[in-house]
Structure formats: structure tokens, C-alpha cells
């Protein structure tokens, strides 16, 4: 593969070249990995930045409908939009919401849009690295907005927040005044909570839910990266395409404020440090997947189970064998 040629085509915004580049970074082959790193290094010199928006939401909240309606609104404004997914469950359950592009049939037909299903990896670390690199490729290809969605499996929200400039939490109207069991950690990560399906018979419930979450957000500790009034809760209807313009106006205001005050650059620098450490961690774990390492682990595991060695001594022997002790 000619990396220089592929790099030039990606920089020109060629969607087919972008798809090939993402396939390359998703590959597990060692030779492909070397090519992928060379490609990413070449493209990094262009220093293009998109607005990266992380999006999470409970199942059935209408995420696909929201992404399509929101994406179409951005495309109509003349922006180029990419949609990526972080879904480590997809290989086991087929549960990736982007596994079927027909759910976003209008957006997927747009020349200014690019939709990519989740990489076929079972580990969150594997999916995260490949999605993060796909985000970089989309930025290099000149996309203005990159939407990174997660189905909320395990720690995937944390991972998405580490590759996003803003994090949106999409919720459905709840009955009564109950907060929908959303983990406090996810609430603390959210820059905006969007209560979807705020239309028809659900509008009163959506109004109550929005008020409940607005109250809950006020109780959270003030974050230095937030201007006055953020994080905030607001109502949208992806189906009726209501509230989307207001949500985008708030997103632009928040991202603009963070750029002006230096929070944007600091967050990106912190994220680069996080991913450097994560790449080292993943590479160390990969060394345990070799046939020799798995065989040695089995031997030492049996010795520990039989009481012939203590866990600490066996771990020391394993690390010595890996050249880490």
C-alpha cells in the first residue's frame, strides 16, 4: 500500500480513501500496524482539528434518530459530519447501533457525512484505540464535527470522554420524578444532558425530567472548564427536529468559551498523555497473549493452585520471563 498516496487522498477529503485508512488502523496485523502508524504520523502534520462530540444514552432513548436528525441539521448548515462508535459488545451481540447504516438512511446518503460502524474488537481497549485513531483520520480528512457514540458498556463512557471535546448524555422522559438510575460518574462527565422525545404525549414528562436533571446538575461540584450555566439540561425532539438548533448554539458557545480560556488546549494535551499511557498499557498486555506467555502463565498458575509457589513468587517469575523484572 502506498502510504503517501493514501495520505494525500485522505487530506483531500476522499471518503473511500478515509474508509481504507480506517480499515488499516483497525487491522491487527503487525505489518498493517507499522503502515497505520506511518500514515497517522504523516497526517498529524496537517494539524487539523474537528469538534469532537461524545454521545451516550440509555437503550431505547432514540440515539440513532437523534444522530441522524442532528447530523442532517449540521450538514444543512454546510458542515461535514463523521459518526463513529465505541461498542465493545458488538462482536458478541451484534448490538452496535451503527451496525446497520439503514437506521440513518438520510444521513448516510449525504456526501458531507461519513458513518462508520464500531471496529470488530471484543476488548474495550482495542475498540478505544482504533476509534481514537479513526477520529484523527476524520479530522485529517477535513470533517468539521465528529460524533463518537457509545452504547454505555462498562467503562466506555469514560473512554469516549477521553477522546471528546464535549460530552452529551441523551435521556428519555421518565415517569414521575425519578432520576433514571444514571450513574453519578456519567452525570459528572456530561457537559449537556439532552432529554429526547420531548414531543406529543411525552412532553409533560420530558419537562419534568429536564427540571429534575437541571436540579441534579446544580448540586454537582462546579468544574473549572464550565462557563456560567453549564453543565445544563435541555429538551429536544429528534423526531420533530425541535431543540436541535438551540442545542447546537449551546455547543458552539461552550466550545468557543473553552478555546478562548485555554481549557480546550489543556484538555487535548491531557488526553494525549492519557492515550500515550493507555497505548503502553495495551502493548504490555499484548505481550501476555503470545503462545509462550500463555503457556508459562498456565504452568505457573497450576503451581500456585497446587501450593508449590506463592502468587507473588509466581508473578515475579512470570515478569522475569517477559524481561520486565
- Fold category of 48-261 in CATH: Rossmann fold (3.40.50)
Residue 141: all three cell numbers together: 480528512
Q: What is the pLDDT of residue 114?
A: 93
**How much is the average pLDDT of 102-109?**
80
What confidence tens digit (pLDDT) does each residue in 44-62 have?
999 899 999 999 887 778 8
Q: What is the pLDDT of residue 12?
A: 95
Percent of the chain past pLDDT 90, that is, above it, reads 52
Q: What is the pLDDT of residue 26?
A: 85
What confidence tens digit (pLDDT) does each residue in 112-154 have?
999 987 655 556 666 677 888 999 999 999 999 999 988 665 5
| Lowest mean pLDDT across 150-164, 201-215, 244-258 | 150-164
**What Rg, from alpha-carbon coordinates, does the chain have?**
22
In the chain, where are the structural domains located?
1-45, 48-261
- pLDDT: which is higher, 182 or 122: 182
**How much is the average pLDDT of 210-231?**
88
61 membership: H or E segment, kind and range:
none
**How much is the average pLDDT of 28-36?**
89
Alpha carbon distance, N-terminus to C-terminus of the chain: 39
Q: CA–CA separation, 120 vs 259, rounded Å?
A: 34
290 membership: H or E segment, kind and range:
none
Q: What is the pLDDT of residue 95?
A: 47
Q: CA–CA separation, 82 vs 59, rounded Å?
A: 22
On whether the 1-45 domain is CATH 1.20.5.170, my answer is: yes
Q: What is the pLDDT of residue 296?
A: 94
Beta bridge partners of 318: none
Q: What is the pLDDT of residue 98?
A: 47
pLDDT for 179 beyond 70:
no
Using CA of residue 9, residue 15, residue 21, residue 24, what is the dihedral sign? Answer: negative
Amino acid at each position: 500500500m502506498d502510504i503517501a498516496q493514501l495520505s494525500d487522498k485522505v487530506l483531500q477529503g476522499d471518503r473511500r480513501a478515509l474508509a481504507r485508512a480506517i480499515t488499516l488502523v483497525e487491522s491487527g496485523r503487525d505489518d498493517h500496524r507499522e503502515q497505520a502508524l506511518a500514515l497517522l504520523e504523516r497526517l498529524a502534520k496537517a494539524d487539523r482539528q474537528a469538534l469532537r462530540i461524545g454521545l451516550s444514552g440509555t437503550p431505547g432513548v432514540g440515539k440513532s434518530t437523534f444522530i441522524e436528525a442532528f447530523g442532517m441539521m449540521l450538514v444543512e448548515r454546510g458542515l461535514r459530519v463523521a459518526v463513529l462508535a465505541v461498542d465493545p459488545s458488538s462482536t458478541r451481540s451484534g448490538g452496535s447501533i451503527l451496525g446497520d447504516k439503514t437506521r440513518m438512511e438520510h444521513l448516510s446518503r449525504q456526501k458531507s457525512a461519513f458513518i462508520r460502524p464500531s471496529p470488530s474488537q471484543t476488548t474495550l481497549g482495542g475498540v478505544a484505540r482504533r476509534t481514537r485513531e479513526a477520529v484523527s483520520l476524520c479530522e485529517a480528512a477535513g470533517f468539521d464535527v465528529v460524533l463518537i457514540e457509545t452504547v454505555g458498556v462498562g467503562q466506555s463512557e469514560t473512554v469516549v470522554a477521553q477522546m471528546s471535546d464535549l460530552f452529551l448524555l441523551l435521556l428519555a422522559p421518565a415517569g414521575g420524578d425519578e432520576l433514571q438510575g444514571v450513574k453519578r460518574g456519567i452525570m459528572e462527565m456530561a457537559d449537556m444532558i439532552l432529554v429526547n422525545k420531548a414531543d406529543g404525549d411525552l412532553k409533560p414528562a420530558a419537562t419534568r425530567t429536564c427540571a429534575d436533571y437541571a436540579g441534579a446538575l446544580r448540586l454537582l461540584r462546579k468544574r473549572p472548564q464550565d462557563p456560567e450555566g453549564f453543565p445544563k439540561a435541555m429538551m429536544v425532539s429528534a423526531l420533530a427536529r425541535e431543540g436541535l438548533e438551540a442545542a447546537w448554539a449551546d455547543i458552539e458557545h461552550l466550545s468557543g468559551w473553552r478555546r478562548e480560556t485555554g481549557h480546550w488546549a489543556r484538555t487535548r494535551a491531557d488526553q494525549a498523555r492519557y492515550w500515550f499511557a493507555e497505548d503502553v498499557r495495551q502493548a504490555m498486555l499484548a505481550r501476555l497473549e503470545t503462545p509462550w506467555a500463555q503457556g508459562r502463565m498456565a504452568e505457573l498458575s497450576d503451581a500456585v493452585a497446587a501450593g508449590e509457589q506463592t502468587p507473588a513468587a509466581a508473578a515475579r517469575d512470570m515478569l522475569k520471563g517477559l524481561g520486565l523484572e
